[in-house]
Structure 1
């Protein structure tokens, strides 16, 4: 904060008709032109210049706030989102994000879903991985046929996170396709496909019902055997 004497000098020069640039030049850069403009505006508005505290907004990112964020994010078992944390600490979400990113060096990650394995299962998987690296040759990998099926229904695909409609209000958004309607039991088909190193098989479309072991043997297996022999020869492995 500048001294009271310097403020009085600036006001006196302003009353003499000097511009902010001229005042700044006379003071040889002791006070910036922007600061002089702010002081002059304050004097015109309130009739006096009283700077008991530095002008501008005060920062809320204090050491105490950083410790509170650490307490809530890292030490408490019950986790809070950045929005709820900002509300509980009575600060803006931007401040909370700056504390998390700049002061704590943390990033936000979503939880991933993974199989719940026992120690025995983990050891078996590890042992199988070692065996596969030593015994599975590249030529054998090229003869593996990967199989999968997917159901497609008439409701289509809807991504709640990324499918957005831009409109000035909710009503216009709904009119412009902002509602994705779904039926309770949508009609659809099951599509099966096989993929290997040398290409893909023909798709098999199951129109009525679902795939069970008998339909798999009757409708899918013949296509699999015929196409895979054409792609990889007589020796291949189902995955």
Structure 2
């Protein structure tokens, strides 16, 4: 499993889980600390963290950690209902990343990991910016309703 965050200025460091499953406790310990560092280094103290509705994201302890460690956080109760397509990673960035992977070079787990790392570095900043801008526009339009 991999974890990645995006913002209008680019992509976060990639977190790769080579073994095991990721439950909320591992997510809190190994992933979440990456996000505030990336956000603070990129924007200073004025930025918002948002995540999708994955079980480990909406777990009470994950939500509590986020509320304590991010300058602003869109919690699970304020994320537009039934709107997975409003997440820039889901509707744009994962596809862009998959296009950047040289699938012919993938022969093993190690080469897959190397290709994913290489692909993350090649994701277009313009694509990321447009995706994040679209997300901001969508959120301002839904006003708590479903995406149309």
Choose between structure 1 and 2: higher helix proportion: 2
Choose between structure 1 and 2: higher strand proportion: 1
Q: Report the TM-score, using the length of structure 2 for normalisation.
A: 0.32
Q: Report the TM-score, using the length of structure 1 for normalisation.
A: 0.20
- Larger RCO: 1 or 2 (CA < 8 Å, sep 6+): 2
Structure exhibiting the larger radius of gyration computed from Cα positions: 1
